[in-house]
A and B are shown apart, each in its own frame.
Chain A
Amino acid sequence: MAQVALRKIVKMFEKTPAVQGIDLDIADREFIVLVGPSGCGKSTTLRMIAGLEEASSGEIYIGDQLVNDVPPKDRDIAMVFQNYALYPHMTVFENMSFGLRLRKFPKPEIKERVDSAARILDITDLLQRQPKQLSGGQRQRVAMGRAIVRNPKVFLFDEPLSNLDAKLRVQMRTEIKKVHQKVTTTTVYVTHDQIEAMTLADRVVVMNHGRIEQIGTPHEVYHNPTTHFVAGFIGSPAMNFLPCQLTENGNGLSVRVSDKLTFPVPQERLARYRPHAGRELLFGLRPEDIIERRGEPEPGRAAFEVQLEVVEPMGMETMVYFVVDGVEVCGRVNPNAARNAGEIMPLVADLNHMHLIDPRTDLVL
């Protein structure tokens, strides 16, 4: 059990920077998820913690030890790879015990550890099988088992679920969460899937272009994103962004997104936005905050009408798409209230959840 700390970590490949100065503190027993688009440096960061890549500069601590110069096998970490990386010529038991056997553990202890890990993962029946006889989900469990038997200080997961089909992915996600609750080892988990990040993480680290955009609980990064990138990356369908003008309107403020459409800023946000009055900004609102109109809108909500372009029924809800000043906007409405494409539909926007972004700094105001 240990905390992990990264100090000003930089990784250069030849001349191109992959990671550009990362600071991160991971508490003991914490489940941290690094999420971002491909090429954002999340995997490189993980591999530097594992010791598979050397940091170009900066310091990596596991526990209280500076591990920059420690080879992977002595860092007391275990890693689960995207393609499982099971040794194809070994049985499940041999796969799981390989690390222990190399470290010359006594046989009874190896057996005991493998059995207990197999029980946690429910793969006791598979121990004598070859990897090629296993399904994707079973291989994933074995890969995790191989990590658990080592009882390491830190678990590292490198996109472990992306080779599985959608249904299995959801199942294994729950499984990983359960395993973490049982073994409570500090975990660093890399994924490009923001849903995985949200569901698994104690804290999410959103990365882009080799930098950390935001660190926060899933709730924080979803509801209070601090940058344009995070606002757009977290959440699916993605947040709608519309160029707007913040105008003063007597005592209040309003957001003008088009000639026809202007939203009033809710009372409690006035102080926060006042200094930016008169500027061209970016208005952000999640699809679930654009819903069908039912009776008179409550305070903080604004009613408007649009012509629908595309309607996508999803079962539980229906996505409606319309265009505001050339920008496509998505709303998430009750299936029973949805109209057909081409028709006019009355909607409301919940401005209590609105975001304003400074286009010059890309920061959320």
Chain B
Amino acid sequence: MADAVASDVRVSTARRPTGARAFLRRKEMIAFFFALPLILIVLTLVIYPAFYALHLATLNKSMQHFVGLGNFTFLFKRNTFWMVVEQSVLFAVTAVMFKAVIGFIVAHFVHNIPQKGQRKWRGMLLIPWVIPPAMSTLAWLWLFDPSYSAFNWVLTHIGLDGIPWLGNPYWARFGVILVNVWVGSPFFMIMYLAALKSVPEQLHEAAAIDGASWFQKIWYVNLPMMRNIIQITALFSLIVTFANFDIVKILTNGGPVDQTHVFATWSFTLGIWGNDLPLGASVSLFMFPILAIAATLILRNVRKRGNEA
């Protein structure tokens, strides 16, 4: 029977080559036309440059000669490169972890208070995310100022020594992470709050009847229900943090002695300031594997979410 039906279809399409199919093709044409600007932008400004970066990385500084993997072998021999790798990973992983934890905690506090007050608190807590990071980092730079640090003023007034915030490599690393956490945790808070709101209240009531404590409710009810959002948010943030530029650029510009450089700032320093575009491109390409892994995981999570809905 199925065969008969299939052959039927073929016969009838052969008989009417125009018609409905032409109409549908017209619809597809319109659809394609609507998507064309997007396709062009993505192709010329994202896909093509991404591949061009690969090509660029194989050229010498004046971009006249093909040097193969020369830029990479050069990088591998430099200590600064390995320092940047280490700092990029440390920076991204630590910052994302703190952002996730702070976001989770603050989201629960906001969720705890009465509904009508939540808007106000949420509104204030999101402000770091709204301010352009370049602008707010300037405020942090001023707070960390070696001679006039407002933090050190407080510290000396309570009898402690002032801290060389951006002068000492370890404190400088702490500083860039702190600012990143400050900028990013509100985003986590908002995402987690949205996820918390979607946990049905009945589940909490059921858990309460089953005798769950406050902590157990979070651990056994909220956390599993929010797991997907937690993962997606953390992966998103991992990508953004790993590729971060503004904060490090303004706060330390990589210093002291290149200790706080991440891939983005170092490639900028080499490529734009040092006028060695191929070397800069080579450095930035090292972001790619981690971005690809995170992107794959996100895609899987988002798809899973789509299926659940």
Q: Which residues of A contact B (CB under 8 A)?
A: 8, 10, 12, 17, 20-21, 54-58, 68-69, 71
Most buried by B among A55, A58, A69: A69
Q: Hey, which chain A residues are within 8 Å of B2, CB to CB? A: 17
Most buried by B among A54, A57, A58: A57
B9 contacts A57, C-beta separation under 8 Å:
yes
Q: Cβ of B306 < 8 Å from any Cβ of A?
A: no
Q: Hey, which chain B residues are within 8 Å of A56, CB to CB? A: 8-9, 12
17 further A-B pairs in the complex, CB-CB below 8 A; given A12-B9, A17-B5, A56-B8: A8-B8, A10-B5, A10-B8, A10-B9, A17-B2, A20-B5, A21-B5, A21-B8, A54-B21, A54-B24, A55-B20, A56-B9, A58-B12, A68-B16, A68-B19, A69-B19, A69-B23
Q: Cβ of B18 < 8 Å from any Cβ of A?
A: yes
Partner of B12, one of A17, A20, A57: A57
Q: Hey, which chain A residues are within 8 Å of B23, CB to CB? A: 54, 69, 71
| Alpha-carbon distance between A130 and B5 when the two chains are bound, in angstroms | 47
A/B interface sample: 8 pairs, CB < 8 A: A10-B9, A12-B9, A20-B5, A57-B13, A69-B18, A69-B22, A69-B23, A71-B23
Q: Nearest residue in A to B1 (C-beta to C-beta)? A: A20
Q: Hey, which chain B residues are within 8 Å of A20, CB to CB? A: 1, 5
Q: Cβ of B45 < 8 Å from any Cβ of A?
A: no
| Alpha-carbon distance between A55 and B9 when the two chains are bound, in angstroms | 9
A69 contacts B8, C-beta separation under 8 Å:
no
How near does chain B come to A51, taking the closest CB pair, in angstroms? 9
A68 contacts B5, C-beta separation under 8 Å:
no
Q: Hey, which chain A residues are within 8 Å of B12, CB to CB? A: 56-58
| Alpha-carbon distance between A312 and B13 when the two chains are bound, in angstroms | 56
Interface of chain B, main secondary structure: helix
Q: Cβ of B11 < 8 Å from any Cβ of A?
A: yes
| Alpha-carbon distance between A255 and B160 when the two chains are bound, in angstroms | 104
Partner of A12, one of B5, B16, B19, B24: B5
Q: Nearest residue in B to A57 (C-beta to C-beta)? A: B12
Q: Hey, which chain B residues are within 8 Å of A55, CB to CB? A: 20
How near does chain A come to B300, taking the closest CB pair, in angstroms? 24
The list of the 3 closest CB pairs from A to B, nearest first, reads A69-B19, A57-B12, A54-B20
Q: Hey, which chain A residues are within 8 Å of B13, CB to CB? A: 57
How near does chain B come to A206, taking the closest CB pair, in angstroms? 20
B11 contacts A69, C-beta separation under 8 Å:
no
| Alpha-carbon distance between A17 and B1 when the two chains are bound, in angstroms | 10
| Alpha-carbon distance between A363 and B21 when the two chains are bound, in angstroms | 39
Partner of A69, one of B5, B9, B20: B20
How near does chain B come to A21, taking the closest CB pair, in angstroms? 7
How near does chain B come to A28, taking the closest CB pair, in angstroms? 25
How near does chain A come to B172, taking the closest CB pair, in angstroms? 54
| Alpha-carbon distance between A12 and B4 when the two chains are bound, in angstroms | 12
Q: Nearest residue in B to A67 (C-beta to C-beta)? A: B20
| Alpha-carbon distance between A54 and B2 when the two chains are bound, in angstroms | 19
| Alpha-carbon distance between A69 and B16 when the two chains are bound, in angstroms | 10
Q: Hey, which chain A residues are within 8 Å of B19, CB to CB? A: 68-69
B8 contacts A57, C-beta separation under 8 Å:
yes
Q: Do A57 and B11 contact each other (CB < 8 Å), given the known contacts A10-B5, A17-B5?
A: yes
How near does chain A come to B225, taking the closest CB pair, in angstroms? 28
